[in-house]
Amino acid sequence: MRLISICILLLSVAILPYTISAKKATTIDELVEMYNIKPCAQCHPDKYEEWKTSTMGNSVVDPRVLMGMRSFIRLAIDEEKSLKREDLTICLNCHIPQIKDAAPELIVHIGNLVLTAVEAKDEIKREEAKKELSKLNLNCLGCHNLKGAGSNVQPKAGVIYVPDDIDDSAHRKAGYETQKSDILKTSEFCAQCHHCPPEVPWKDCPTLYTTYIENFIHKGHKETCQDCHMKGAEAIHKFFGPNNPDFLKSSISLSVNARPTKYINIYENKKTPAVVIKIELKNNAGHVIPHGCIFSPKIVMNLTVKDQDSKEIFSRQKEFTVGDLYFKGGKSVAMAEWDVTATEHFDLGIKPDQPFYSTFIIPLKTDTKAVDVEVILKYFYSRDEIFTIGETVQKVIIEN
C-alpha cells in the first residue's frame, strides 16, 4: 500500500489545535518518559516480552523501515521545496504515534539519526544511532491509549483502553483510569494504521485492508485481524507476521501434480514423451499476499525440471507482488511517486479464495528415463531476509 496521501492528511490532523496545548518533547528521552511503559511491563511481563521482539516493538529500527525513511528524506523531503525535514512526521505518525507530542526540532533530530543509522561510514556511529532510535516504537500506549478509542476520537490522557470489562483496581492504584473500548477487538482498530483514514474515498486507497474487506469478508469469512495475528482470545502480542516462519508457511498451500504422458507429433510421425505439471497455490491468509507500505515484499515461485542426469531441461519463474507506480503524464503533485492518488496500483498478488493455477506441458527427448520436478516458493521479506515457504520435489518415471 502506498500511504502518502494519507500521510498528508495525517499531517494536517497532527497540527490541529488540540495538540498545541500539550508540552512538546524536545529530546527522545522526554518523549519516552511521556509515554512510559515501564509500569505496564512490570505488571504484564508476558505481553511485554512478546511485544518487544515484534515488528511493533521495532517499528523504526527495523532495517527496512530505516532505509525507507532514509530514502524518503533524501528523495522526497530534500528534493521538494515545499517540504521541510520536520515533515518526516508523514512517516512517523503511524510508526510511532507518540510523535504528535514531539517538538519540530526533535523530529529533525530523529531524521538525522535515521540518516546516520543508514549512511554513516563508521559502524560504531551507525550502531549508536540505532540504539538511540530503538527507544522509539509502537508501544502499549500507542495502541491502548492513542489508537485505543478509535479513529477521529480524541483519546483521554491517563486512560488505558481495554477490550473487556475488568476489575480496574490495579490500574487505579497505579494512577491510570481504565475504559472498555469495543474497537480493540475489531479489524477497524488495525485499519487505523493499515489503511487510509475514513475520509479518503475507498477506491482511492487500495491497501491490505481493502483486500481484507473485498476478497475475504465479502466472500463470507468472519475472522478479524486479531483472530489470526494475535491468535484470538490468547491475544498474543507478537503480532505474528511474515518474519515468523510457521505463521508465514501457514499462509500458502502449495500442491504440485506431475504425470508422464505422450502426445502425437504429426511432423515427426511419432509419439513424443512429455511431462504435465499442474501447480496450485492457495492463499490461506485473510487478504492478498504479499503486501507492504513503501517497499513491497515479493513471493517468487521457481519451477525446474531436471532429467535423469540432473541436467536442467526446463525452468520458469513467477513473481507475485503488489505495488504502486508513477508514470510520466500522471497527476503532477509534489512527491508524486510516493502519493497513492497519483500512482497506478498493480495487484499481482495471490488472493484468498482464488487459488493461482498454472499448468505446463513439457516435451521430453525420447531417451528421457525420469525427471525431477522441483517447485520452490520463496518470500522476499527484505534484501537480506529470504524465507522458503514451500518446497516439493517429485520424481516422474517416463515410460518409453
Please give the residues from 206 up to 235 whose contact with ligand HEC meets the rule CB under 6 A.
208-209, 212, 223, 225-230, 235
Burial of 152 (0-12, 13-18, 19+ CB in 10 A): exposed
Residues in the interface with ligand HEC (CB under 6 A) total: 87
Question: 72 to each of 91, 102, 126, 249, 338, how far by Cα in Å?
Answer: 9, 19, 18, 32, 9
Task: Give the residue with the Cβ less far from ligand HEC, 344 or 367.
Answer: 344
Q: Which stretch binds ligand HEC (CB under 6 A): 14-22, 103-111, 140-148, 339-347?
A: 140-148
Site for ligand HEC, residues 57 to 76, rule: CB under 6 A:
58-59, 62, 64-65, 68-69, 72
Please give the Cα distance from 48 to 37 (Å, whole number).
Answer: 9
Please give the Cα distance from 83 to 340 (Å, whole number).
Answer: 18
Using rule CB under 6 A, residue 7 touches ligand HEC: yes
Q: Which stretch binds ligand HEC (CB under 6 A): 26-34, 48-56, 306-314, 370-378?
A: 48-56
Using rule CB under 6 A, residue 144 touches ligand HEC: yes
**Least gap, CB of 52 to ligand HEC (angstroms):** 7
Using rule CB under 6 A, residue 77 touches ligand HEC: no
Judge whether 357 and 279 are in contact, CB under 8 Å.
Answer: yes
| Near ligand HEC by CB under 6 A: residue from 129, 138, 375, 398 | 138
Q: Which stretch binds ligand HEC (CB under 6 A): 121-129, 150-158, 186-194, 339-347?
A: 186-194
Locate 109 and state its grid cell.
533530530
Please give the Cα distance from 288 to 211 (Å, whole number).
Answer: 6
Judge whether 194 and 208 are in contact, CB under 8 Å.
Answer: yes
Spell out the long-range contacts of 259-263 with Cβ–Cβ below 8 A and sequence spacing 24 or more: 259/396, 260/396, 260/397, 260/398, 260/399, 261/361, 263/361, 263/363
From residue 378 to residue 397, the character string flagging contacts with ligand HEC as x (rule: CB under 6 A) and all else as - is --------------------
Using rule CB under 6 A, residue 184 touches ligand HEC: yes
| Near ligand HEC by CB under 6 A: residue from 170, 361, 386, 393 | 170
Residue nearest to ligand HEC (CB): 286
**Least gap, CB of 326 to ligand HEC (angstroms):** 14
Using rule CB under 6 A, residue 343 touches ligand HEC: no
Using rule CB under 6 A, residue 149 touches ligand HEC: no
Burial of 277 (0-12, 13-18, 19+ CB in 10 A): buried
From 73, 75, 99, 69, select the one nearest 84 (Cα to Cα).
73
Using rule CB under 6 A, residue 159 touches ligand HEC: no
Sequence-ordered list of residues with C-beta below 8 angstroms from that of 262, at least 6 positions apart, any chain: 271, 272, 273, 274
Task: Give the residue with the Cβ less far from ligand HEC, 242 or 273.
Answer: 242
